[in-house]
Structures are given as structure tokens and as C-alpha cells.
Amino acid sequence: MAMRDAAVDERDGRARLFHQVVVDLCRLIRDGQFRVGARLPAERELAERLGVSRPSLREALRALEVSGIVESRHGGGTYVRDAFDPGFISPLALALEATGDATGDLWEVRIVFEPPIAARAAMRAGADDLTRLEALVEQMFELAPDLARNDHILAVDREFHAAIARASGNSVAVRVVQLINQVLFDSRRHFTTSLERRLQACARHREMFDAIRGRDPVAARDAMLLHLHEVEDYILGGLDGKHRRGLERGDAVADARHLAAEQWVQASGSGMFAGEAKEGKIS
């Protein structure tokens, strides 16, 4: 195959070629030619396959490694990573971390996004999903009295929300939930330093699980919405000055924002439930 490197303009060709090599590699991974955990072909073979020089390939692989899509193992080649691994750090998460305080915006996204996902989980969760969710709820209750293990209970909480997204059957939802929780991790640390707040959160998670197990999408949606509002009100209420989104503009504006989000959730949820019922997924 002819080298594409020779066909590009010197000024911007390198950037375009670099981008195209990255896209080509991602497409091969997406199409299953390089599966999660698989070792990529040797550098020479892969460069020939893509029709680029080895330096261009190395540049693209470095970008994919920074993005967490592949990982290099010393003396062992380059391997495809699992993008849904909890240890995966999204480039978008890093970008959000670097663009100032986005806590309020991210909580608003959670309020709009996660309740309908919980509703879908109630309609689609399999036996393995229910077993996993129940185990996580029990683990949270076990950890609740131990205030010294704050990061541990937060990690279980994150996994519970990811497990709900997984139970919804939507792989993109899993990634979005993981991304948001990744960025919000630090902001939630203080919330779980109180035993009372921990137990309240545990109770809400139990309500979500009970609704999902009971195949009740409306109850699952409402339990998630209530939980997110309770945590959001505490976290944003504890922020000062410019970081208190909505509050410095007046409670009426903040209430209007919450109401709009809830109305969107309820409207989208109603349409979703109707669609699922029409398809015969709700008895």
C-alpha cells in the first residue's frame, strides 16, 4: 500500500494524517478487528496495514494511549483497553476538570439524564443485573457506619449508578454516568462524611433497587430524581459565591430550573413508557 504520508501538504497535512490514523485505529477497534484486551499487531505490520509511516503510527498510538483507548506495556506491546473500565479516565472528564467549576451544570445533567435511565432499568434489568444491584445496596449499608472509609462508600455508590445504567441496556448511558460521576467525585466527599446523610442515601438506593426489581419504571424514575435532588441541594447549598449556581440569582430562578428539569424528565419518561408498552416490553 502506498504511504499516505507522501500525499499530504506539508503545512497541515501532518495534522490531518494524524487525525485520520487515529480515526482508522478507532474504527478497527469499534468493528471488532482489535478486541478489548487484544494486543495490536507489531508496529511495522500495523503501519503497512494503515499505509502510513511508523513515526505517524507512533504519534497516533500516543494520542490513543493518553485518551485511555490503548495501553503500552513495557516490553509487551500495545493493548486495547476497556473504555467502560472504572479506571478509565475520559479525555472529556479531564477537559471538564480544566474548564472551571461545572458542578452545578453536571448535577443538572444528572437530573435530566439519570431518572429515565433508572426507568429503563426497571423495564430491562436481567437477573444478573438485579443480583449485582442488590449486592451493592447491601454493601453500602454495611459501609455506612464506618465513616473512615469515605472513598470506599463513594466508589460503591458510583458503581451502583453505573450498574443501573448497565441494566438499562444502553452502553452509552454507562459511559455518560461514569463520566459525570468521575468529575463529581470530589464534590460529593463531604456529603458522605455524615452518618445521617449516608443512611439517607442508602435508603434512596434501596428504593431505587426495589422499584427496578418490582418492574416499576415510574417509581424507579421518581426515586432517582428524589435522591439526586437531595444530594444536589446539600452540595450546591454548601458552595459559596459564584459556585452556587442559581442560588445567587434567587431561589425562584433555581426552583424554575429544577421544575423545568423535572417536567422534561416526566415528559420524556411518559413517552418512553408508552413506547415500551407498545413494543410489548411492559406487561
Cα-trace Rg, the chain: 22
Take residue 82 and report the three cell numbers written for it: 476497556
Compute the distance between CA of residue 247 and CA of residue 225 in angstroms, rounded to an integer: 20
Shortest CA distance to 176 belongs to which of 188, 162, 187? 162
pLDDT in tens, 74-113: 778 899 987 656 555 566 555 555 565 667 788 888 899 9
Higher pLDDT, 216 or 103: 216
Q: What is the pLDDT of residue 241?
A: 38
Decide which of 227 and 67 is more confident. 227
Whether 5 and 17 have beta carbons less than 8 Å apart is answered as yes
What pTM, to 2 d.p., does this model score? 0.66
pLDDT of 283 over the 90 cut: no
Instruction: Please name each of the domains of the chain with its CATH number.
Output: 4-80 (1.10.10.10), 91-278 (1.20.120.530)
Q: Which three cell numbers stand for residue 78?
A: 500495545
Report how far residue 67's alpha carbon sits from residue 85's, in angstroms, rounded to the nearest whole number: 13
CA distance 246 to 255: 8
The model's pLDDT over 7-43, given as tens digits with 9 standing for 90+, comes to 444 445 666 787 888 889 988 988 889 988 899 999 9
